[in-house]
Chain A
Amino acid sequence: MRKLFLLLSFFAASATAGENQIILKDKPGRDQVISQCAMCHSLDYITMNATILDRAGWEKTVGKMISVMGAPIDDADKQTIIDYLAQNYGK
Protein backbone atom coordinates (compact mmCIF):
# COMPACT_ATOMS: atom_id res chain seq x y z
CA MET A 1 0.00 0.00 0.00
CA ARG A 2 2.84 2.36 0.88
CA LYS A 3 4.49 1.55 -2.43
CA LEU A 4 1.28 2.32 -4.24
CA PHE A 5 0.94 5.61 -2.39
CA LEU A 6 4.43 6.60 -3.45
CA LEU A 7 3.68 5.68 -7.04
CA LEU A 8 0.50 7.73 -7.04
CA SER A 9 2.30 10.71 -5.54
CA PHE A 10 4.92 10.45 -8.25
CA PHE A 11 2.40 10.47 -11.05
CA ALA A 12 0.38 13.26 -9.50
CA ALA A 13 2.94 15.65 -10.96
CA SER A 14 1.86 14.90 -14.51
CA ALA A 15 -1.61 13.50 -13.89
CA THR A 16 -4.78 15.59 -13.76
CA ALA A 17 -6.91 15.68 -10.62
CA GLY A 18 -9.61 13.57 -12.23
CA GLU A 19 -7.15 10.95 -13.28
CA ASN A 20 -6.14 10.28 -9.67
CA GLN A 21 -9.66 9.11 -8.95
CA ILE A 22 -9.32 6.11 -11.23
CA ILE A 23 -8.88 3.15 -8.90
CA LEU A 24 -7.94 -0.14 -10.54
CA LYS A 25 -8.98 -3.42 -8.93
CA ASP A 26 -6.77 -4.30 -5.97
CA LYS A 27 -5.39 -7.60 -7.25
CA PRO A 28 -1.86 -8.94 -7.75
CA GLY A 29 -0.04 -7.06 -10.48
CA ARG A 30 -1.72 -3.71 -9.93
CA ASP A 31 1.49 -1.99 -8.82
CA GLN A 32 3.27 -3.03 -12.01
CA VAL A 33 0.33 -1.88 -14.14
CA ILE A 34 0.27 1.52 -12.45
CA SER A 35 4.01 2.10 -12.55
CA GLN A 36 4.47 0.98 -16.16
CA CYS A 37 1.24 2.03 -17.93
CA ALA A 38 0.59 5.32 -16.13
CA MET A 39 4.03 6.54 -17.08
CA CYS A 40 2.61 7.55 -20.47
CA HIS A 41 -1.18 7.51 -20.16
CA SER A 42 -4.06 7.60 -17.71
CA LEU A 43 -5.50 4.31 -16.54
CA ASP A 44 -8.93 4.95 -18.06
CA TYR A 45 -7.40 3.51 -21.25
CA ILE A 46 -7.65 0.21 -19.38
CA THR A 47 -11.18 0.57 -18.00
CA MET A 48 -12.38 1.91 -21.38
CA ASN A 49 -11.33 -1.31 -23.12
CA ALA A 50 -12.43 -3.66 -20.35
CA THR A 51 -14.80 -6.37 -21.62
CA ILE A 52 -13.69 -5.55 -25.18
CA LEU A 53 -10.27 -7.20 -25.02
CA ASP A 54 -9.83 -10.86 -24.13
CA ARG A 55 -6.48 -12.31 -23.03
CA ALA A 56 -5.19 -12.41 -26.61
CA GLY A 57 -6.35 -8.82 -27.09
CA TRP A 58 -4.55 -7.60 -23.96
CA GLU A 59 -1.43 -9.53 -25.01
CA LYS A 60 -1.49 -7.77 -28.37
CA THR A 61 -2.10 -4.37 -26.78
CA VAL A 62 0.70 -4.69 -24.20
CA GLY A 63 2.97 -6.02 -26.97
CA LYS A 64 2.16 -2.95 -29.08
CA MET A 65 2.94 -0.63 -26.17
CA ILE A 66 6.40 -2.21 -25.93
CA SER A 67 7.33 -2.77 -29.57
CA VAL A 68 5.60 0.23 -31.19
CA MET A 69 5.19 2.81 -28.42
CA GLY A 70 8.57 2.13 -26.86
CA ALA A 71 7.46 1.24 -23.31
CA PRO A 72 10.52 -0.03 -21.40
CA ILE A 73 8.76 -3.04 -19.83
CA ASP A 74 10.82 -6.17 -19.12
CA ASP A 75 9.50 -9.67 -19.83
CA ALA A 76 8.60 -10.46 -16.21
CA ASP A 77 6.56 -7.27 -15.78
CA LYS A 78 5.03 -7.77 -19.22
CA GLN A 79 3.63 -11.15 -18.16
CA THR A 80 2.39 -9.80 -14.81
CA ILE A 81 0.63 -6.92 -16.56
CA ILE A 82 -1.00 -9.15 -19.17
CA ASP A 83 -2.21 -11.54 -16.46
CA TYR A 84 -3.62 -8.69 -14.37
CA LEU A 85 -5.43 -7.11 -17.33
CA ALA A 86 -6.78 -10.41 -18.65
CA GLN A 87 -8.03 -11.53 -15.24
CA ASN A 88 -9.48 -8.23 -14.06
CA TYR A 89 -10.37 -6.35 -17.20
CA GLY A 90 -10.73 -9.12 -19.76
CA LYS A 91 -13.72 -10.09 -21.86
Chain B
Amino acid sequence: MIDRRHFMKKAAGSLAALGGLSLLQRAGLAAAKGSEESMILDALPGKEALIKKTYRPPNYETPVNYFDVAFTPNNRFFVRYHNAVIPEVKASEWRLRVGGDAVRTPLEFSLEQLRKDFKPVEIAALCLCSGNRRGLFQPPVPGVQWGSGAMGNARWRGVRLKDVLAKAGIDKSALEVSLDGADSGVLKTTPDFVKSLPLAKALDENTLIAFEMNGEALPHWNGFPVRLIIPGWTATYWMKHLTAVNVISKPLDNFWMKTAYRIPKDRFPSGQFSSQETETNMPITEIVVNSLITNLVDGQTLPATKLLEIKGVAWDGGNGIAQVELSTDGGISWQQAKLKQDYGRFSWRQWYQAFEPKGSGEYQIMARATSHSGVTQPLEPIPNPSGYHHNAVQKITIQLA
Protein backbone atom coordinates (compact mmCIF):
# COMPACT_ATOMS: atom_id res chain seq x y z
CA MET B 1 0.00 0.00 0.00
CA ILE B 2 2.87 2.31 0.83
CA ASP B 3 4.44 1.63 -2.52
CA ARG B 4 1.21 2.27 -4.29
CA ARG B 5 0.60 5.63 -2.64
CA HIS B 6 4.20 6.50 -3.29
CA PHE B 7 3.78 5.62 -6.94
CA MET B 8 0.67 7.74 -7.32
CA LYS B 9 2.46 10.70 -5.77
CA LYS B 10 5.51 10.30 -7.93
CA ALA B 11 3.49 9.65 -11.05
CA ALA B 12 1.42 12.77 -10.61
CA GLY B 13 4.56 14.88 -10.78
CA SER B 14 5.98 13.34 -13.89
CA LEU B 15 2.81 12.56 -15.79
CA ALA B 16 3.00 15.36 -18.29
CA ALA B 17 6.32 14.07 -19.55
CA LEU B 18 5.25 10.45 -19.55
CA GLY B 19 2.07 10.66 -21.58
CA GLY B 20 -0.44 8.09 -20.35
CA LEU B 21 -0.68 7.00 -16.77
CA SER B 22 -2.90 4.04 -17.52
CA LEU B 23 -0.49 2.49 -19.98
CA LEU B 24 2.46 2.85 -17.64
CA GLN B 25 0.50 1.76 -14.64
CA ARG B 26 -0.69 -1.42 -16.29
CA ALA B 27 2.70 -2.18 -17.78
CA GLY B 28 4.21 -1.92 -14.33
CA LEU B 29 1.56 -3.97 -12.61
CA ALA B 30 1.79 -6.71 -15.18
CA ALA B 31 5.54 -6.81 -14.65
CA ALA B 32 5.18 -7.16 -10.92
CA LYS B 33 2.85 -10.15 -11.06
CA GLY B 34 3.83 -12.80 -8.58
CA SER B 35 5.46 -10.46 -6.09
CA GLU B 36 3.95 -8.04 -3.59
CA GLU B 37 5.55 -5.15 -5.31
CA SER B 38 3.77 -2.41 -7.14
CA MET B 39 5.25 0.12 -9.48
CA ILE B 40 7.25 3.13 -8.42
CA LEU B 41 8.47 5.69 -10.93
CA ASP B 42 11.64 7.36 -9.81
CA ALA B 43 14.34 9.45 -11.46
CA LEU B 44 18.03 8.89 -10.74
CA PRO B 45 20.13 12.10 -10.93
CA GLY B 46 20.49 12.98 -14.62
CA LYS B 47 17.80 10.51 -15.71
CA GLU B 48 14.10 10.88 -16.42
CA ALA B 49 11.61 8.77 -14.48
CA LEU B 50 12.01 5.01 -14.94
CA ILE B 51 10.39 2.02 -13.26
CA LYS B 52 12.29 1.48 -10.03
CA LYS B 53 12.99 -2.14 -9.15
CA THR B 54 15.57 -1.48 -6.42
CA TYR B 55 17.06 1.78 -5.14
CA ARG B 56 20.50 0.56 -4.00
CA PRO B 57 22.22 -0.80 -5.97
CA PRO B 58 20.11 1.00 -8.56
CA ASN B 59 18.04 -1.21 -10.84
CA TYR B 60 15.59 0.71 -13.04
CA GLU B 61 13.77 -0.38 -16.19
CA THR B 62 12.41 1.63 -19.10
CA PRO B 63 8.60 1.86 -19.53
CA VAL B 64 7.83 0.01 -22.78
CA ASN B 65 6.20 2.98 -24.50
CA TYR B 66 9.68 4.53 -24.81
CA PHE B 67 10.59 1.65 -27.12
CA ASP B 68 8.47 3.30 -29.80
CA VAL B 69 11.55 4.97 -31.29
CA ALA B 70 14.51 3.36 -33.08
CA PHE B 71 17.02 4.43 -30.45
CA THR B 72 16.26 4.59 -26.75
CA PRO B 73 17.03 8.06 -25.34
CA ASN B 74 20.04 8.07 -22.99
CA ASN B 75 18.02 9.61 -20.17
CA ARG B 76 15.42 6.80 -20.45
CA PHE B 77 17.94 3.98 -20.78
CA PHE B 78 17.65 1.21 -18.17
CA VAL B 79 20.08 0.96 -15.26
CA ARG B 80 21.44 -2.24 -13.74
CA TYR B 81 24.12 -2.68 -11.04
CA HIS B 82 25.19 -5.56 -8.80
CA ASN B 83 27.11 -3.50 -6.27
CA ALA B 84 26.21 -0.21 -4.59
CA VAL B 85 29.48 1.73 -4.62
CA ILE B 86 29.44 3.54 -7.97
CA PRO B 87 32.09 6.26 -8.09
CA GLU B 88 31.66 9.26 -10.35
CA VAL B 89 34.65 8.85 -12.62
CA LYS B 90 36.31 11.97 -14.05
CA ALA B 91 37.06 11.56 -17.75
CA SER B 92 40.39 13.40 -17.41
CA GLU B 93 41.54 11.07 -14.62
CA TRP B 94 40.22 7.85 -16.13
CA ARG B 95 42.74 5.26 -17.29
CA LEU B 96 42.32 1.86 -18.91
CA ARG B 97 44.88 -0.67 -17.72
CA VAL B 98 45.67 -3.50 -20.12
CA GLY B 99 47.49 -6.38 -18.48
CA GLY B 100 47.20 -10.00 -17.45
CA ASP B 101 49.59 -12.97 -17.49
CA ALA B 102 49.08 -13.49 -21.25
CA VAL B 103 49.82 -9.97 -22.41
CA ARG B 104 53.27 -9.03 -23.76
CA THR B 105 53.51 -5.39 -22.64
CA PRO B 106 51.11 -4.08 -20.00
CA LEU B 107 49.87 -0.64 -21.06
CA GLU B 108 47.72 2.18 -19.80
CA PHE B 109 45.51 4.43 -21.91
CA SER B 110 43.82 7.75 -21.26
CA LEU B 111 40.54 8.61 -22.97
CA GLU B 112 42.42 11.09 -25.15
CA GLN B 113 44.80 8.33 -26.31
CA LEU B 114 41.95 5.96 -27.14
CA ARG B 115 40.29 8.64 -29.24
CA LYS B 116 43.51 9.72 -30.94
CA ASP B 117 45.41 6.46 -31.50
CA PHE B 118 42.67 4.12 -32.70
CA LYS B 119 40.17 4.01 -35.52
CA PRO B 120 36.68 5.01 -34.35
CA VAL B 121 33.80 2.60 -34.97
CA GLU B 122 30.06 3.08 -34.45
CA ILE B 123 27.63 0.16 -34.10
CA ALA B 124 23.89 0.14 -33.44
CA ALA B 125 23.25 -2.59 -30.90
CA LEU B 126 20.68 -3.73 -28.40
CA CYS B 127 21.83 -3.75 -24.78
CA LEU B 128 19.73 -6.47 -23.12
CA CYS B 129 19.85 -7.63 -19.52
CA SER B 130 20.10 -11.44 -19.29
CA GLY B 131 17.21 -11.41 -16.81
CA ASN B 132 14.87 -9.16 -18.80
CA ARG B 133 11.27 -10.40 -18.23
CA ARG B 134 12.34 -12.60 -15.32
CA GLY B 135 9.26 -11.32 -13.50
CA LEU B 136 7.05 -13.01 -16.12
CA PHE B 137 8.27 -16.55 -15.41
CA GLN B 138 5.72 -18.89 -13.83
CA PRO B 139 6.48 -20.27 -11.32
CA PRO B 140 8.33 -17.11 -10.24
CA VAL B 141 12.13 -17.08 -10.14
CA PRO B 142 13.89 -15.11 -7.38
CA GLY B 143 16.06 -12.16 -8.34
CA VAL B 144 15.33 -8.72 -9.73
CA GLN B 145 11.75 -9.00 -10.97
CA TRP B 146 12.29 -7.34 -14.32
CA GLY B 147 9.40 -6.61 -16.64
CA SER B 148 10.11 -6.04 -20.35
CA GLY B 149 12.13 -2.85 -19.93
CA ALA B 150 15.63 -4.01 -18.97
CA MET B 151 16.86 -3.27 -22.47
CA GLY B 152 17.59 -0.42 -24.83
CA ASN B 153 18.83 0.14 -28.37
CA ALA B 154 21.62 2.65 -28.99
CA ARG B 155 24.37 3.73 -31.35
CA TRP B 156 27.65 2.99 -29.58
CA ARG B 157 30.83 4.71 -30.67
CA GLY B 158 34.31 3.77 -29.57
CA VAL B 159 37.35 1.79 -30.61
CA ARG B 160 37.86 -1.93 -31.15
CA LEU B 161 39.06 -3.92 -28.16
CA LYS B 162 41.14 -6.02 -30.58
CA ASP B 163 43.07 -2.93 -31.74
CA VAL B 164 43.86 -1.94 -28.17
CA LEU B 165 44.90 -5.50 -27.26
CA ALA B 166 47.09 -5.72 -30.37
CA LYS B 167 49.09 -2.74 -29.16
CA ALA B 168 49.84 -4.52 -25.89
CA GLY B 169 50.53 -7.81 -27.69
CA ILE B 170 48.79 -11.09 -26.97
CA ASP B 171 50.73 -14.17 -25.89
CA LYS B 172 50.03 -17.61 -27.37
CA SER B 173 48.83 -18.80 -23.97
CA ALA B 174 45.87 -16.35 -24.00
CA LEU B 175 42.51 -18.00 -23.26
CA GLU B 176 40.15 -15.32 -21.93
CA VAL B 177 40.04 -11.55 -21.45
CA SER B 178 38.78 -10.40 -18.06
CA LEU B 179 36.95 -7.09 -17.56
CA ASP B 180 36.72 -4.94 -14.46
CA GLY B 181 34.86 -1.69 -13.78
CA ALA B 182 35.16 1.04 -11.16
CA ASP B 183 32.12 -0.07 -9.14
CA SER B 184 32.44 -2.26 -6.05
CA GLY B 185 30.55 -3.64 -3.09
CA VAL B 186 30.03 -1.77 0.18
CA LEU B 187 32.09 -4.33 2.11
CA LYS B 188 35.61 -5.38 1.25
CA THR B 189 34.44 -8.99 1.58
CA THR B 190 31.91 -8.66 -1.30
CA PRO B 191 33.26 -10.09 -4.56
CA ASP B 192 34.04 -7.40 -7.11
CA PHE B 193 32.00 -7.61 -10.32
CA VAL B 194 34.55 -8.98 -12.78
CA LYS B 195 33.63 -10.86 -15.95
CA SER B 196 35.55 -12.51 -18.77
CA LEU B 197 35.14 -13.11 -22.48
CA PRO B 198 36.55 -15.96 -24.54
CA LEU B 199 39.54 -14.65 -26.53
CA ALA B 200 37.71 -15.00 -29.85
CA LYS B 201 34.88 -12.73 -28.68
CA ALA B 202 37.30 -10.17 -27.25
CA LEU B 203 38.99 -10.08 -30.67
CA ASP B 204 35.72 -9.87 -32.61
CA GLU B 205 35.70 -6.76 -34.79
CA ASN B 206 32.36 -5.72 -33.27
CA THR B 207 33.52 -5.77 -29.65
CA LEU B 208 34.06 -2.11 -28.74
CA ILE B 209 35.45 0.01 -25.96
CA ALA B 210 32.72 2.64 -26.20
CA PHE B 211 32.76 6.24 -25.00
CA GLU B 212 29.67 7.54 -26.80
CA MET B 213 26.05 6.51 -26.80
CA ASN B 214 23.61 8.02 -29.30
CA GLY B 215 26.12 10.76 -30.13
CA GLU B 216 26.69 11.85 -26.53
CA ALA B 217 28.98 10.90 -23.68
CA LEU B 218 27.72 7.85 -21.79
CA PRO B 219 25.39 8.76 -18.90
CA HIS B 220 26.97 8.08 -15.49
CA TRP B 221 24.42 5.32 -14.82
CA ASN B 222 25.27 3.60 -18.10
CA GLY B 223 29.01 3.45 -17.54
CA PHE B 224 30.65 6.89 -17.95
CA PRO B 225 33.23 7.47 -19.25
CA VAL B 226 33.80 4.12 -20.99
CA ARG B 227 32.05 0.78 -21.19
CA LEU B 228 32.49 -2.37 -23.18
CA ILE B 229 30.04 -3.25 -25.98
CA ILE B 230 29.64 -6.88 -27.04
CA PRO B 231 26.95 -6.71 -29.75
CA GLY B 232 24.73 -9.79 -29.80
CA TRP B 233 25.65 -10.92 -26.28
CA THR B 234 23.64 -10.14 -23.15
CA ALA B 235 24.60 -7.07 -21.12
CA THR B 236 26.34 -8.94 -18.28
CA TYR B 237 29.57 -8.68 -20.31
CA TRP B 238 29.10 -4.98 -21.21
CA MET B 239 31.29 -3.80 -18.33
CA LYS B 240 30.46 -0.25 -17.20
CA HIS B 241 33.07 2.28 -15.96
CA LEU B 242 35.65 -0.04 -17.53
CA THR B 243 39.04 0.27 -15.79
CA ALA B 244 40.94 -2.93 -16.59
CA VAL B 245 41.13 -5.60 -19.27
CA ASN B 246 43.42 -8.52 -18.56
CA VAL B 247 44.46 -11.15 -21.07
CA ILE B 248 44.64 -14.36 -19.06
CA SER B 249 45.79 -17.93 -19.71
CA LYS B 250 43.35 -19.62 -17.29
CA PRO B 251 39.56 -19.50 -17.04
CA LEU B 252 38.45 -16.68 -14.73
CA ASP B 253 37.35 -18.31 -11.50
CA ASN B 254 34.90 -16.15 -9.54
CA PHE B 255 31.25 -16.10 -8.48
CA TRP B 256 30.15 -13.95 -11.45
CA MET B 257 31.53 -16.48 -13.97
CA LYS B 258 31.29 -19.87 -12.24
CA THR B 259 27.95 -19.52 -10.43
CA ALA B 260 25.99 -16.53 -11.71
CA TYR B 261 24.75 -16.00 -15.26
CA ARG B 262 24.70 -19.67 -16.17
CA ILE B 263 22.15 -21.67 -18.18
CA PRO B 264 21.56 -25.42 -18.65
CA LYS B 265 23.38 -26.79 -21.69
CA ASP B 266 20.61 -29.12 -22.78
CA ARG B 267 18.00 -26.37 -23.22
CA PHE B 268 19.86 -23.67 -25.12
CA PRO B 269 22.11 -23.53 -28.18
CA SER B 270 25.87 -23.64 -27.74
CA GLY B 271 27.21 -20.82 -25.62
CA GLN B 272 30.47 -20.24 -27.56
CA PHE B 273 32.39 -20.16 -24.30
CA SER B 274 33.98 -23.61 -23.97
CA SER B 275 36.58 -22.59 -21.35
CA GLN B 276 33.75 -21.84 -18.90
CA GLU B 277 31.47 -24.82 -19.61
CA THR B 278 30.81 -27.70 -17.24
CA GLU B 279 29.13 -31.03 -18.01
CA THR B 280 25.70 -29.54 -17.41
CA ASN B 281 25.80 -25.77 -17.72
CA MET B 282 27.49 -22.84 -19.46
CA PRO B 283 27.60 -19.06 -19.28
CA ILE B 284 24.72 -17.20 -20.93
CA THR B 285 26.12 -15.54 -24.06
CA GLU B 286 24.16 -14.83 -27.22
CA ILE B 287 20.81 -13.05 -27.13
CA VAL B 288 17.90 -15.25 -28.30
CA VAL B 289 15.31 -14.23 -30.91
CA ASN B 290 12.55 -12.13 -29.39
CA SER B 291 9.96 -9.41 -29.95
CA LEU B 292 7.84 -6.96 -28.02
CA ILE B 293 4.62 -5.07 -28.71
CA THR B 294 5.33 -1.50 -27.64
CA ASN B 295 2.10 0.45 -28.04
CA LEU B 296 -0.41 -1.87 -26.35
CA VAL B 297 -0.42 -3.55 -22.96
CA ASP B 298 -2.26 -6.52 -21.57
CA GLY B 299 -5.72 -5.69 -20.26
CA GLN B 300 -5.94 -2.35 -22.03
CA THR B 301 -9.32 -0.96 -23.09
CA LEU B 302 -9.40 1.25 -26.17
CA PRO B 303 -12.23 3.10 -27.91
CA ALA B 304 -13.66 1.03 -30.79
CA THR B 305 -11.91 1.92 -34.01
CA LYS B 306 -11.78 0.90 -37.66
CA LEU B 307 -8.01 0.95 -37.79
CA LEU B 308 -5.47 0.23 -35.09
CA GLU B 309 -1.77 0.31 -35.76
CA ILE B 310 0.15 -2.26 -33.75
CA LYS B 311 3.81 -1.47 -33.26
CA GLY B 312 6.81 -3.13 -31.75
CA VAL B 313 10.43 -4.19 -31.94
CA ALA B 314 12.17 -7.52 -32.68
CA TRP B 315 15.76 -8.63 -32.21
CA ASP B 316 18.17 -11.53 -31.91
CA GLY B 317 21.87 -12.12 -31.20
CA GLY B 318 23.20 -10.89 -34.52
CA ASN B 319 21.65 -12.86 -37.36
CA GLY B 320 19.12 -10.12 -37.90
CA ILE B 321 15.33 -10.32 -38.08
CA ALA B 322 13.86 -12.02 -41.17
CA GLN B 323 10.20 -11.58 -40.29
CA VAL B 324 7.70 -10.67 -37.62
CA GLU B 325 4.25 -12.24 -37.70
CA LEU B 326 1.28 -10.80 -35.91
CA SER B 327 -1.93 -12.51 -34.80
CA THR B 328 -5.02 -10.66 -33.61
CA ASP B 329 -7.06 -13.81 -32.94
CA GLY B 330 -4.99 -15.56 -30.31
CA GLY B 331 -2.72 -17.39 -32.72
CA ILE B 332 -5.25 -18.89 -35.14
CA SER B 333 -4.10 -16.78 -38.08
CA TRP B 334 -0.90 -14.81 -38.64
CA GLN B 335 -0.01 -11.90 -40.90
CA GLN B 336 3.41 -10.55 -41.78
CA ALA B 337 4.15 -7.24 -40.12
CA LYS B 338 6.10 -4.60 -42.00
CA LEU B 339 9.70 -4.12 -40.97
CA LYS B 340 11.12 -0.60 -40.67
CA GLN B 341 14.65 0.59 -41.37
CA ASP B 342 17.50 -1.89 -40.84
CA TYR B 343 20.23 -0.34 -38.66
CA GLY B 344 22.41 -3.46 -38.76
CA ARG B 345 22.17 -7.01 -37.50
CA PHE B 346 22.79 -6.14 -33.81
CA SER B 347 20.14 -3.41 -33.63
CA TRP B 348 16.57 -4.23 -32.85
CA ARG B 349 14.20 -3.88 -35.80
CA GLN B 350 11.04 -1.84 -35.49
CA TRP B 351 7.90 -3.28 -37.05
CA TYR B 352 4.27 -2.25 -37.48
CA GLN B 353 1.02 -3.66 -38.77
CA ALA B 354 -2.34 -2.06 -39.46
CA PHE B 355 -5.17 -4.01 -37.82
CA GLU B 356 -8.80 -3.58 -38.86
CA PRO B 357 -10.97 -4.87 -36.00
CA LYS B 358 -14.32 -6.41 -36.94
CA GLY B 359 -16.02 -4.46 -34.16
CA SER B 360 -15.95 -3.98 -30.45
CA GLY B 361 -14.97 -6.83 -28.18
CA GLU B 362 -11.93 -8.72 -27.01
CA TYR B 363 -8.83 -9.33 -29.16
CA GLN B 364 -5.81 -11.44 -28.37
CA ILE B 365 -2.72 -9.93 -29.93
CA MET B 366 0.48 -11.95 -30.43
CA ALA B 367 3.80 -11.16 -32.08
CA ARG B 368 6.38 -13.73 -33.21
CA ALA B 369 9.80 -12.95 -34.64
CA THR B 370 12.01 -15.19 -36.78
CA SER B 371 15.71 -14.55 -37.31
CA HIS B 372 17.70 -14.88 -40.54
CA SER B 373 19.01 -18.19 -39.19
CA GLY B 374 15.40 -19.47 -39.17
CA VAL B 375 14.97 -19.56 -35.39
CA THR B 376 11.54 -18.56 -34.05
CA GLN B 377 10.27 -17.64 -30.59
CA PRO B 378 8.73 -20.48 -28.53
CA LEU B 379 5.16 -20.24 -27.23
CA GLU B 380 6.31 -20.86 -23.66
CA PRO B 381 9.50 -19.56 -22.02
CA ILE B 382 12.27 -22.12 -21.55
CA PRO B 383 12.53 -22.77 -17.79
CA ASN B 384 15.97 -22.30 -16.26
CA PRO B 385 17.08 -21.82 -12.64
CA SER B 386 17.95 -18.10 -12.83
CA GLY B 387 15.18 -16.92 -15.15
CA TYR B 388 17.23 -15.87 -18.18
CA HIS B 389 16.38 -15.74 -21.91
CA HIS B 390 12.60 -15.21 -21.51
CA ASN B 391 11.62 -15.06 -25.16
CA ALA B 392 8.14 -16.58 -25.28
CA VAL B 393 5.69 -15.18 -27.83
CA GLN B 394 3.89 -12.34 -26.11
CA LYS B 395 0.13 -12.74 -25.85
CA ILE B 396 -1.87 -9.74 -24.74
CA THR B 397 -5.60 -9.17 -24.53
CA ILE B 398 -7.15 -5.83 -25.39
CA GLN B 399 -10.77 -4.65 -25.29
CA LEU B 400 -12.30 -2.41 -27.88
CA ALA B 401 -15.35 -0.69 -26.43
The smallest beta-carbon distance between B5 and chain A, in angstroms, is 9
Instruction: Select from chain B the residue with minimum beta-carbon distance to A16.
Output: B55
- Assess A51 versus B36: contact at CB under 8 Å? Given A21-B6, A70-B185: yes
- Picked from B54, B188, B189, B190, the residue with its CB within 8 Å of the CB of A44 is B54
Asked whether B55 lies within 8 Å of A42 as measured between CB atoms, the reply is: yes
- Assess A48 versus B35: contact at CB under 8 Å? Given A68-B255, A69-B190: yes
Bound form: Cα–Cα A61–B142 in Å? 9
The smallest beta-carbon distance between B234 and chain A, in angstroms, is 21
Which residues on B sit within 8 Å (CB–CB) of A23?
Answer: 2
Instruction: Select from chain A the residue with minimum beta-carbon distance to B139.
Output: A52
Asked whether A70 lies within 8 Å of B190 as measured between CB atoms, the reply is: yes
Asked whether A15 lies within 8 Å of B36 as measured between CB atoms, the reply is: no
Digitize A27-58: 1 where CB-to-B-CB distance is under 8 Å, 0 elsewhere: 00000000000011110110111111100010
Q: Could you tell me which residues of chain B, from 49 to 64, have a CB within 8 Å of some CB in chain A?
A: 52-57
Asked whether B185 lies within 8 Å of A44 as measured between CB atoms, the reply is: no
Task: Answer yes or no: B145 CB below 8 A from chain A CBs.
Answer: yes
Which residues on A sit within 8 Å (CB–CB) of B142?
Answer: 49, 52-53, 57, 61
Bound form: Cα–Cα A57–B142 in Å? 9
- Counting chain A CB atoms within 10 Å of each CB, the highest count among B2, B56, B57, B140 belongs to B56
- Picked from A15, A72, A89, the residue with its CB within 8 Å of the CB of B55 is A15
Instruction: Select from chain A the residue with minimum beta-carbon distance to B187.
Output: A70
Chain A binding surface, main DSSP class: loop
Q: Could you tell me which residues of chain A, from 56 to 87, have a CB within 8 Å of some CB in chain B?
A: 57, 61, 68-72
Interface residues on A, range: 20 to 34
Asked whether A51 lies within 8 Å of B145 as measured between CB atoms, the reply is: no
Instruction: Select from chain A the residue with minimum beta-carbon distance to B54.
Output: A44
Which residues on A sit within 8 Å (CB–CB) of B189?
Answer: 69-72
Which residues on A sit within 8 Å (CB–CB) of B53?
Answer: 44, 48
- Assess A70 versus B35: contact at CB under 8 Å? Given A18-B40, A41-B54: no
- Picked from A16, A18, A71, the residue with its CB within 8 Å of the CB of B187 is A71
The chain A residues found within 8 Å of chain B, CB to CB, are 14-16, 18-19, 21-23, 39-42, 44-45, 47-53, 57, 61, 68-72, 89
